[in-house]
Structures are given as structure tokens and as C-alpha cells.
Structure 1
Amino acid sequence: MNRLLAISVLLVASFLAGCATHPSPELRPYTAQETQQLALEALSRRGLSFDEYQQQRAALTGQPQKPFGFDRQGEMNAERSVMLHGRPS
């Protein structure tokens, strides 16, 4: 009798545990937005240089690449007063 009770309790517990689990989200396909977000997250973890990162990010997002770079003005000394385009810097 004890053996039958133990087996039935195990069966009921395993059945209830199986009913309580949710379907895993990996079984559904990713949306286009989720795929793009995952690609951008993977891109940020790759350790690329700034220029390479911006090129690949522009390719993923479909946006035109913005030109980044230095302004070719050189370095400025904070102690020196300089006028730029009619205003103090």
C-alpha cells in the first residue's frame, strides 16, 4: 500500500510540475526588431575601434554613416584665451 501511494504521489507531482512550466521563449522565432537588437549588442561586445564600430553599426541600422573625426584645429591650451568665430572659447 505504501509503495502504491508513493508512486501515485510521484506521478501527480511530476504531472503538476510539467503543467507549471512555461513554454520556453526560444521556441518562437525572433522578430526583426529583436534580431537587430541582438546584432547591435553583439557588435558592442566585439571590441572594435570607434571607426569600425560606427561603420558596422550604420550598416546594421541602415542609416547613413556620419563622418566622425577630428576638426584639424589642433590642441588648445585652456590657459590661453582664443577667439573662435567671433566668440571666446
Structure 2
Amino acid sequence: MKTSIAIFLLLSISVLAGCASHVSPELRPYTAAESKELALEDLNRRGLSFDEYHAKKAELLGLPQKSFRFDRQGEMNAERAVQLHGRPS
């Protein structure tokens, strides 16, 4: 009887000691790479326009801001025929 009580007591003490020494990841400070990754994930979840997204992303990554704008050169009107280098479109 005494050995089972002693074994139970040792098991409970070891379980409690293991729970008490658990280091939670929320208690340690984030590294710079983790902070940047979290900021980029947050940026992806926002409903920003194309231009706003790339401006914020360049700001977060420390890159020079480029002009990411849609141009109208790639648009075609389906009602008019366009000759492309001697081929019908």
C-alpha cells in the first residue's frame, strides 16, 4: 500500500513540475524575422486595393516604392479588328 502511494505521489509531483516549467511561446519576445512575417500575414488579410497593398508591402520590406499600376495598353476592344504584325487578332 505504501509503495503505491509513494509511486502516485512521485508521478503527481513530476507532472506538476513539468507543467510549472513549461515555457509558453507568447512569453518570449518575437525576433525581427517573426515580426516581419506576422506583419506580412496581417497585410495579406486586409482588403486593400492593389496599389495600397504594394505600397504597404514595400514599406514593410524596406524596398523603394515602385509604381504598380495597371496600364491601358493591354486592353483591347472586341468590336474593332486589330492587325498584329500581319496576323488577324
Of the candidates 6, 9, 12, which is equivalent to residue 10 of structure 2?
A: 12
Give the match for residue 71 of structure 1.
Answer: 71
Aligned residue-pair number: 83
Identity %: 52
The correspondence of residues 24-39 of structure 1 with structure 2, limited to 5 A, is 24-39=24-39
Give, in whole Å, the separation in 2 of the partners of 1:57 and 1:46.
12
The TM-score, its normalising length taken from structure 2, stands at 0.66
- The verdict on how the C-alpha distance between 1:70 and 1:82 changes in structure 2, with shifts beyond 3 A counting, is farther
TM-score (norm 1): 0.66
Gaps of 5+ in 2: none
Matching residue's letter, 1:67: S
